[in-house]
A and B are shown apart, each in its own frame.
Chain A
Amino acid sequence: MSKPKLATIWLDGCSGCHMSFLDMDELILEVAERADLVYGPLVDAKEFPEGVDVTLVEGAVGSSEDLRKVREVRERTRVLVAFGDCAVTGNVPSLRNPIGPRAVLETVYLEKPTHNAQIPSQLVPELLEEDLPVHAWVPVDVYLTGCPPSAARIYECVKRLLDGEAPETVSEAVAWKFG
């Protein structure tokens, strides 16, 4: 029997959750043993593969590209984990919501720069009107809160899911706090 497929993806967030994931120390070897890490910032794969068992989604959905990715991930994943506060609530990236994307772009690219002030329009995805949690767009199976979630809780969550535990019981087991 082949090993379950594990993927991670980094959307609108600071990558702190991925850092925390790496912070598992030697336990990461156990995860590597238990699963095939098929996609993520740590893996050299261009395309998000089909038939993934568990995907950890870090970050909120802030741009058209984030949205395209998260929909693709949802289609190709059995158990989707909203990984960290940005994915769960929008968290820091969502601080822009009260003022809207236009104001953010103007402040960052037009008012603040000392030279060559212009809003980039090529090769960068468009910002969505609001920066929203993952479950605003696609169904989420497990919410792993924390900014970031501790390595121990990430391990706990991944291990249980790889063991085939139901997402509901995993959710209960790893429920913690925001922040």
Chain B
Amino acid sequence: MSEVRTLQIDGKDVAARSDETILCAAEENEIHIPTLCHLEGLSDVGACRLCVVEVEGTPKLMAACTTTVEEGMKVTTTSERLVAYRRRAIEMLFVERNHICAVCVANNNCELQAHARNVGLDHFELPLMHPALPVDASHERFVMDHNRCILCTRCVRVCDEVEQAHTWDVAGRGTGARIVSDLGMPWGSSTTCTSCGKCVQVCPTGALFEKGRSISEPKARRPYLPYLVRVKERER
């Protein structure tokens, strides 16, 4: 059974359950830590590094989404250094692929774009890599545009953990890493995809989208994940 822990986040005394993450505890206390790969209802992987925080007594920065609270912890969620580093991380996501907001289906509905705005990112110091990447439009209803993918793996996790089809996974490594369906074949020829569309729903950018959507057209956000997860837990 979980117990109660008391800790400080940004100087504010907060109480949390011992199995809660710093991110969770912060959210409950209206302290907002930026996140990108995190999505309520999915497991956390600590990959995007936006939610890193300073914990007193630890020289390393800790990902708030994967670090559980401890008694007496003193957490800082915003500092000059953290803001600069987060900004750099967002910049890196922009420059590694071809994120051209003006012609993206997710324009104005994109979490990456919103983060850039929040940290005041108005240009890139790093040169754009401009990789040649494919757009997979072979699925009858959906499109995967690798130019917009930030490898947050939300699609991989929702497909594995919630839909349990495990159509998506990550192939390759380093800057060559790509989201793939089945054996790297076109999405449309996937034998495991149930066309449920959950991956499209959870994609934070314009990498996965429904056919027929135009630029900037708002996408309906359906907060069904926590509900589905609860149903599954009850079944178990």
Contact = CB atoms under 8 A, between A and B. Distances in A.
Direct contact of A and B (CB under 8 A): yes
| Most chain B beta-carbon contacts within 10 A, residue among A91, A95, A133, A177 | A177
A135 B131 CA distance: 20
Interface string B119-137: 0101110011011110000
Interface stretch (A50-58, A65-73, A82-90, A114-122): A82-90
B67 interface: no
Nearest to B123: A143
Contacts of B127: 132, 136
Interface string A76-106: 0000001001001111101101110000000
B104 A90 contact: no
Contacts of A97: 128, 130
A175 interface: yes
Interface residues of A, number: 28
A84 to B, nearest CB: 9
B190 interface: no
Given A147-B101, A177-B101, A94 B123 contact: no
Given A89-B123, A98-B98, A140-B123, A179 B108 contact: yes
A85 to B, nearest CB: 6
B32 interface: no
Nearest to B112: A178
Given A94-B128, A98-B133, A99-B132, A179 B104 contact: yes
Interface in B92-114: 98-104, 107-108, 113-114
B116 A89 contact: no
Instruction: Identify whether the interface residues of B are mostly helix, strand, loop, or mixed.
Output: loop
A175 B117 CA distance: 8
A178 B113 contact: yes
Contacts of B102: 85, 91-92, 147, 178-179
A51 B128 CA distance: 32
A145 B130 contact: no
A178 B101 contact: yes
Contacts of A176: 117, 122
B120 A175 contact: yes
A55 B133 CA distance: 35
Interface string B131-145: 111000000000000
A88 B133 CA distance: 22
A23 interface: no
B130 A94 contact: yes
A172 interface: yes
Nearest to B104: A179
Contact of A89 (B113, B128, B131): B128
Contacts of B100: 89, 91-92, 94-95, 179
A36 interface: no
A138 to B, nearest CB: 13
A175 B100 CA distance: 17
Given A177-B101, A177-B113, A88 B123 contact: yes
B124 A89 contact: yes
Contacts of A82: 123
- In order of increasing CB-CB distance, the 8 nearest A-B pairs are A179-B101, A147-B102, A98-B132, A97-B130, A177-B117, A178-B101, A143-B122, A143-B123
